[in-house]
Structure 1
């Protein structure tokens, strides 16, 4: 038995395994290409030394348990503890590999889940971004809709205002049309009495011609020429009467008032025109014989005998029945001429007698 134990001990301590590694040649070389084999072989030697130390430890434990040398020779050889440890190491290694594989599987599964989670997170982020954009778009559309509603209300208000203004304009137009028709009818009705002739009618204006009762067709026969005037009216039922001088010789003037006083204004103008009938008839007749210019505002008659000889005659109010015509000044080549010797043979000469005398006088 002792022989078998010693033989088993020597099997564990094989002389091949007990040889120490001599690394002198590697230390002397020092080349870089020898370092990798050196380190690999050193690791193998260290593993082998670990095994030898393990066997030595088993031997020491065995010797410590022996009380005598006979016990070493008589007791059976104990089982090789290295085989059990090796099996346990194999089992642990296999368990470790399984654990590593399980961990790797779990890591792979976790990685897949993390990838899916990241994908879902990115998708959720995109959805949140799209939702925020839609929210902003919804707010903008809401503001635009509110603006459109406000604009619609403003347009409705403006439309109502325009409708009211249109109705008011139509009412004013209808009133103006009625007023125009009434005024035209009034003028036509008074044509026989006042001898009015309607020349033109507009939307707010008409032009008439006033003829005195004794007015004929020719001014050369001592008859007055017709007087033209324009009447305009406003929506507030007021008129503006404008009298034009023309060849009639009446002073231009403007008369304003309510439309109800228009007939009275026309009658007043006609009476003023007729009251100066004799003077105006004479002046109108002189226009065809002499180069004269009648200025009713100054009551001055300018006679141009020639281009360089000008005579000014003054006409008093009430001429010819209550006033006279007098020679005021005579200019020849721009210089005043003494008019003391210029006197017609008549005591109170008329405008016609004055012009006939001046046109034939050698002193001018």
Structure 2
């Protein structure tokens, strides 16, 4: 391919020189007035030089023109690129403007809706303020009534020996506080806690909690109209065993004991390996006695014959004091 191009270039140069010579010859013939003048005119020293010079000038002008055109094209291309960029930006701005216009319309509609809702809310707020003022007036009246009722409740609780711990929509917690029991007014029973729940069909469920009071846990059910009688029955059951329970409650603070009312059994844990079981008869202490049932030491039974307090009919307190000091236990 390269030799072909080189040969073509040489042929083009030869052809151009021949054209230059032909051009000079044509110019010469144009200047001649007769054929004789052709033979008398001297031969040009370098035929084609003038045409070749003009061709070089034209070629140089052409190159300069091409360079100018290329520079103009480059400048025009830059301007066109800038125009395209500006057109794209303008298109994006127009699109964004249209979106903002749509958003503005939507916000205007939303603002109008919110304004209408605000006017409705203002009307409702005015109505609610009036209702609130009326409610506050009624609340003040109810507050005075509540204070008065609270005073009545406190007075009633003092008379009825009970205290209201909590109250709910369908449940209340009451603490029974019996007065002094037995021959000594200093003997006090611990409060007995119980819970009362009621159902929509006017029935109640009363649950007694043993805690440290020593009373057997039990529950009672019935019509709501019989609730007062049920509370009175629980109070009577508690106070009927008042002396025994008061003694057991006092022993809790001195000895490690466990009272089991269902078995009427008092378990005394002297040490980790010494356990004493005492039975309490019905009617104790006035009509019943406390007896030692068994003593286990290191897992072995101890003979009860060697364990007898000096008292003829010892009480629970005397039994525990004796057992705690006995070397056999």
Q: In terms of Rg, which structure is larger?
A: 1
- Deviations along 1:32-64, one digit per CA (max 9) or x if unpaired, are xxx999999999999999999999999999999
User: SS where residue 172 of structure 2 aligns?
Assistant: strand
Query: How is 1:189-228 mapped onto 2 (pairs within 5 angstroms)?
Result: 190-214=156-180, 223-228=188-193
Report the more deviating stretch, 98-107 or 155-164.
98-107
**TM-score between both structures, scaled by the size of structure 1:** 0.48
Q: Distance in 2 between matches of 1:42 and 1:311?
A: 135
Does the CA contact (< 8 Å) of 2:23 and 2:48 recur in 1?
A: no
Residue 235 of structure 1 aligns with which residue?
200
User: SS where residue 220 of structure 1 aligns?
Assistant: coil
Q: Distance in 1 between matches of 2:324 and 2:13?
A: 165
Does the CA contact (< 8 Å) of 2:20 and 2:51 recur in 1?
A: no
Displacement of 1:342 = 0.6
Displacement of 1:279 = 0.2
Displacement of 1:340 = 1.4
Query: CA 1:103/1:225 → structure 2, altered by over 3 Å: closer, same or farther?
Result: closer
Query: CA 1:258/1:101 → structure 2, altered by over 3 Å: closer, same or farther?
Result: same
Does the CA contact (< 8 Å) of 1:215 and 1:226 recur in 2?
A: no
Does the CA contact (< 8 Å) of 2:181 and 2:242 recur in 1?
A: no
Report the more deviating stretch, 306-315 or 176-185.
176-185
Displacement of 1:104 = 67
Does the CA contact (< 8 Å) of 2:181 and 2:239 recur in 1?
A: no
Residue 145 of structure 1 aligns with which residue?
111
- Deviations along 1:262-321, one digit per CA (max 9) or x if unpaired, are 000000000110000100110011111111110101100000110100000000000000
Q: Distance in 2 between matches of 1:49 and 1:291?
A: 138
Displacement of 1:191 = 1.6
User: SS where residue 251 of structure 1 aligns?
Assistant: coil
Which residues of structure 1 form unaligned runs of 5+?
A: 1-34
In the alignment, does 2:27 pair up with 1:78?
A: no
Does the CA contact (< 8 Å) of 2:161 and 2:178 recur in 1?
A: yes
User: SS where residue 76 of structure 1 aligns?
Assistant: coil
Residue from 25, 30, 33 that aligns with 1:67: 33
Query: CA 1:276/1:133 → structure 2, altered by over 3 Å: closer, same or farther?
Result: closer
Q: Distance in 2 between matches of 1:305 and 1:89?
A: 138
CA RMSD of superposed structures (Å): 11.1
Report the more deviating stretch, 276-285 or 37-46.
37-46
**TM-score between both structures, scaled by the size of structure 2:** 0.53
User: SS where residue 304 of structure 2 aligns?
Assistant: coil
Does the CA contact (< 8 Å) of 1:196 and 1:210 recur in 2?
A: yes
Query: CA 1:110/1:245 → structure 2, altered by over 3 Å: closer, same or farther?
Result: closer
Query: CA 1:182/1:339 → structure 2, altered by over 3 Å: closer, same or farther?
Result: farther
User: SS where residue 211 of structure 2 aligns?
Assistant: coil
Displacement of 1:214 = 2.5
Query: CA 1:298/1:187 → structure 2, altered by over 3 Å: closer, same or farther?
Result: farther
Query: CA 1:138/1:237 → structure 2, altered by over 3 Å: closer, same or farther?
Result: farther
Q: Distance in 2 between matches of 1:77 and 1:206?
A: 146
Displacement of 1:174 = 21
Which residues of structure 2 form unaligned runs of 5+?
A: none
Tell me how many residue pairs correspond in the alignment: 329
Does the CA contact (< 8 Å) of 2:214 and 2:261 recur in 1?
A: yes
Displacement of 1:194 = 2.2
Query: CA 1:166/1:343 → structure 2, altered by over 3 Å: closer, same or farther?
Result: farther
